[in-house]
Amino acid sequence: MKIVHKIREFYEITKPIRRWDEVIVDLKPDYQSSAFDNSRAEELITYCKKNPQFHIISIKNDVYYNRFMAKADLFMIAEGDQSSIVIYIPDNRSALEKFDQE
């Protein structure tokens, strides 16, 4: 597991889709940040199963996880390294502590 404190480093590893009009026409994010609401989790899982070059990033309490986590608030679709467990934490609090916060 790798923990990073710079979002740019997380994005370089995971490569979230930011230009939807150029890459994926089947899905449209719910927010300008290219994020999807938690209510679309099943749709995103199905999409990634059909398109294995993509994977899901989960976001909860400003912590980004390079894997699907059902309790996340938001999700992003990415096309980078999906085998590594990479976590972006904007400060020095532990990832598990932040994820368990409601």
Kindly report, residue by residue over 19-65, the tens digit of the pLDDT: 766 666 677 878 777 889 999 999 999 999 999 999 999 999 999 99
Euclidean distance between CA atoms 73 and 52, whole angstroms: 23
pTM assigned to the model: 0.81
By the 8 A CB rule, do 58 and 78 touch? no
Residues in the chain: 102
Reported as type and span, the H/E element at residue 60 is strand 55-60
**pLDDT tens, 72-102?**
999 999 998 988 889 999 875 555 555 555 4
DSSP, collapsed to helix, strand or coil, labels residue 12 as helix
Burial of 36 (0-12, 13-18, 19+ CB in 10 A): buried
Reported as type and span, the H/E element at residue 49 is helix 41-50
